[in-house]
Structure 1
Amino acid sequence: MKRVTAVCLLALALAACKKEATPPPAATAPAVTPGTALPAPVATDAGPVELKEVVETTPNYVVGITYNTKAAQYPGLARELKHYADNARSELIEAANGRTAKENPSPYELSLTFDDVVDAPDMVAVSADGSSYTGGAHAAPLIARFVWLPKQNKLLKAEELVPDKAGWDAISRFVREQLHSALSQRIDADDLAPAVRAEQIETGGRMIDDGTAADPANFAMFEPMRSADGKLSGLKFVFAPYEVGPYSDGTQMVEVPAAVLLPHLAPAYRPLFVGGA
């Protein structure tokens, strides 16, 4: 089951580039020399971006957006956060303006909060969590993660961090094992009849397997886990409701330690992790 959110607007990372004194006629982005350094900084518009709290209350819709983050000091990252929030707001307002009071008398609602997860000179991570209600039984989740490399002025994307399928095969196996174990524990706690338990294990297991197939798109949301020495002890992969389980299971997270990741990381990023260098 592919990653599903009502508003799934993952931030696009800017392509790495490198200036040269006399560029060749058909210059392309230089490859990273294994084990040497992170990709060169990306040239972007350096203009400041204001991350201002949004509070709107109308008969048709209610919007609340909060930025509990220091991301404004990184214009490129701030631009990504604001783009995500602006799009979520625009979609809600469009849906609200297209409905009739008879269809749904209650105003549509958007709630979204950005928080700092990691704030360090070499890496910044921001979480976006909220919901968008446009009718129906419950609100749709709004969940995103943004990992920013200040020195390279770019977002770190899953497919760049782990560049080959073998790596995603290994990560998929590890994550599936953790999610299947958690599923069994939740179902066992309900003390269900054997037939009902078997059915829920089968259904839940199928959702887990679909949502964790060895494709970086299934692992696009992750949080860095920092150790005491400042290096990364691993990554916490984040799965929104419906991705690896029913809505009632909520957001699920799986911690993958550096030891599992290291053999599959792109050489340029290994030094960021414990045991990488």
Structure 2
Amino acid sequence: MRMGTGLLIGIMLLSGAVSVGAQVTYKTVTAKKKGVVSSAKMPVFRAKTPVAALANQTLFAFVKKGQTAFLKENSAPPKGFPVPDYSQEYIAKTHYNYAPRLISVEVGVSFYTGGAHPGYAVQCFNFGNIDGKVKRLGLLDLFSKKAEATDTRQQIKDALLNKLHSLKDIASFVKDGTVTDLTNAQLDNFVILSDGLEFIFSPYEVGSWAEGTITVKLSVSELGSEFRKMLLFAR
């Protein structure tokens, strides 16, 4: 279990599980108006590859869209009312950076607009060159073409729900029957590791706020024979 800790201003890039010849610089992006601020220190993958270019374009667009919406939704108060102190932060962790073929990034978004605690959500981004096509990757892209989409999703869904049931003191919504299924969007919210995939659930998805962000790892063997493991191992 991992938990967002407070409202930092910025986006932090932590070294990933796989980093081959990785050159990363940073660009700070800030948007603000009276009483409201959103700030991010964005990673820029410097490799001159189509995968790195797509990662940079997509991540910057994600932050820009989020900052614009945050400022728009939290407008200035009417005259005479106190000015709010609202903030938003982006925290990124790179799990896989082999720019010729794969980049995997986890972005946590924390925001405070009053109340007992900030809101927090995680969005994962995976980019790769699959069969000569550079694209943002979903779960099915990592399985062989002969694998049936419905069967693959059901296989992964069952494995995740079984592991969530087995976690100690967390994933309470699964254990009490509130959550009995997972959406395709949740199945696509994973990061790529050197030895498998890690699926990430934001607070309230499969457990309470107090349970934090919940992660479930599936190893290469648990992903099954149709998983394209050579995407992870080949250099």
TM over 0.5: yes
Match of 2:189 in 1: 221
Post-superposition Cα deviations, 1:185-236, rounded to whole Å, max 9, x if no partner, equal: 227xxxxxxxxxxxx96775324424x3xx422212111120xxxxxx2111
Counterpart residue number, 2:4: none
Q: Does 1:161 align with 2:142?
A: yes
**Residue type of the alignment partner of 1:157:** G
Deviation at 1:114, TM superposition (A): 2.7
**The structure with more radius of gyration:** 1
Candidates 164, 173, 180, aligned match of 1:179: 164
Q: Can you give the 5+ residue segments of structure 2 that lack an aligned partner in the other structure?
A: 1-24
Distance of 1:158 and 1:101 partners within structure 2? 49
Alignment RMSD (CA, Å)? 3.0
Alpha-carbon separation, structure 2, partners of 1:71 and 1:101: 47
- 2:96 paired with 1:118: yes
**Which secondary structure does the structure 1 equivalent of 2:176 belong to?**
helix
Residue of 238, 241, 249 corresponding to 2:211: 249
Q: 2:197 aligns with which of 223, 235, 249?
A: 235
Offset, 1:76: 1.6
Give me the whole-angstrom Cα distance separating, in 2, the residues matched to 1:93 and 1:148: 29
1:102 Cα deviation after fit = 7.2
Match of 1:146 among 91, 109, 125: 125
- Within a 5 Å distance, the mapping from 1:5-84 to structure 2 comes to 52-56=27-31, 58-70=33-45, 73=48, 74-84=52-62
Q: Which amino acid aligns with 2:118?
A: A
Secondary structure at 2:34 match in 1: coil
Cα drift, residue 170 of structure 1: 1.8
Give yes or no for the alignment of 1:271 onto 2:233. no
The aligned counterpart of 1:132 is 111
Q: 1:207 to 1:225 in 2, by over 3 A?
A: farther
Inter-CA distance 104–137: structure 2 relative to 1 (3 Å threshold): farther
Q: Which moved more, 1:68-77 or 1:246-255?
A: 68-77
* Higher strand content, 1 or 2: 2
Among residues 206, 209, 218, which one is paired with 2:180 in the alignment? Answer: 209
Q: Does the residue aligned with 2:224 lie in a helix, a strand or coil?
A: helix
Post-superposition CA distance 1:91-129 (Å, at most 9, x none)? 110022164487774322110123321111321111211
Q: Residues 90 and 201 (structure 1 numbering): CA distance in 2 closer, same or farther, change over 3 Å?
A: closer
Is 1:51–1:72's contact at 8 Å kept on the other side of the alignment?
A: no
1:57, 1:254 → 2: CA distance? Answer: 36
Cross-structure match for 2:14: none
* Structure 1 residues without counterparts, runs of 5 or longer: 1-49, 188-199, 227-232
The CA distance in 2 between the partners of 1:143 and 1:202, in whole Å, is 18
TM-score by length of 1: 0.62
| Counterparts in 2 of 1:100 and 1:250: CA distance versus 1, 3 Å | farther
User: Are residues 103 and 142 of structure 1, via their aligned partners in 2, closer, same or farther at CA, if it must alter by over 3 Å?
Assistant: farther
Give 1:179 shift: 1.2
Q: Please, what TM-score do these two structures have when normalized by structure 2? A: 0.72
Letter in 1 for 2:169: R
The count of aligned residue pairs is 200
